[in-house]
Amino acid sequence: MRQTIVVVEDDQDLCALLEYNLGNSGYDVVTAHRLDGADQLIRDHRPDLIILDVMLPDGDGFEFCRGLRANAVTASIPVLFLTARSQEVDRVLGLEIGGDDYITKPFSPRELLARIKAHLRRGPNQEPRKSLEAQGLEINYDARRAQLNGKALDLTATEFELLGFLAANPGKAFTRQQLITRIWNGRSHVVPRNIDVHVRRIREQIEEVPKRPRWIQTVRGFGYRFEIP
């Protein structure tokens, strides 16, 4: 079954290029040139991944992504930002508000395709069929849902992957580079700061006091370790 990608991009020539390249790679591609109507398009097609520009004629892609993450129907769909905004602060913001990846224009179509494939390989069918329960934290790997004390966690696909991996290895410390290799397949564009951003977002949801974490602990000078309180 072909996977579906929704592209939200106002540059129609770029949309045509993406449709051609992604279509030739075996994906169904649906495009929107404005944020107005993109929500409904995403609900109708239930895509496997969303490519999202930041600077759109009728709004801000970052805010649109926040809305996707706040909606249970779209919260777990990987979002890949494709934008001309290349400052580090923009990259960090894109990850903090729920983006799973960030690519700046101009870009290599081959690199874009490689990143898309890497995200889609993390789909539900690739997870072992198991769940984890500990001290009120429940992770369902099949459904790709997590909750703490009965409250659903609002995790991006990357954050679920990171939490799920750490929680499956309690007591074991991992370097940031090991986590990059496991979660991002070691892709060179990912830097240790990416791991820190995602860990901070997870902590904000599972820790009573995020600055004094009990679940995901910092191993000074090394990386992170998951502990069951």
Q: Which residue has the higher pLDDT, 46 or 18?
A: 18
Numbered ranges of CATH 1.10.10.10 in the chain: 125-226
> What pLDDT is attached to residue 74?
82
Residue 13: band (very low, low, confident or very high) from pLDDT cuts 50, 70, 90? very high
Q: Which fold has domain 4-120?
A: Rossmann fold (3.40.50)
| Alpha carbons 152 and 138: distance in angstroms, whole number | 9
Contact 45, 6 (CB under 8 A): yes
Instruction: Give the mean model confidence (pLDDT) for residues 122-132.
Output: 54
CATH number of 125-226: 1.10.10.10
> What pLDDT is attached to residue 218?
95
Convert the pLDDT of each residue in 79-88 to its tens digit: 999 999 988 8
| Alpha carbons 63 and 44: distance in angstroms, whole number | 20
Convert the pLDDT of each residue in 161-193 to its tens digit: 899 989 988 888 898 888 888 887 655 567 788
pLDDT at 17 over 90: yes
pLDDT at 78 over 60: yes
Q: How many CB atoms lie within 10 A of CB 106?
A: 6
Structure tokens at 55: 């600077």
Residue 46: band (very low, low, confident or very high) from pLDDT cuts 50, 70, 90? confident
> What pLDDT is attached to residue 72?
67
pLDDT at 20 over 90: yes
Contact 144, 127 (CB under 8 A): yes
Numbered ranges of CATH 3.40.50.2300 in the chain: 4-120
Instruction: Give the mean model confidence (pLDDT) for residues 8-29.
Output: 94
Residue with tokens 């494709």: 82
| Alpha carbons 91 and 14: distance in angstroms, whole number | 21
Instruction: Give the mean model confidence (pLDDT) for residues 41-50.
Output: 90
Structure tokens at 181: 């290799």
Q: How many CB atoms lie within 10 A of CB 228?
A: 12
pLDDT at 128 over 50: no
> What pLDDT is attached to residue 112?
92
| Alpha carbons 197 and 211: distance in angstroms, whole number | 13
The H-or-E segment that residue 151 falls in is: strand 151-152
| Alpha carbons 44 and 101: distance in angstroms, whole number | 23
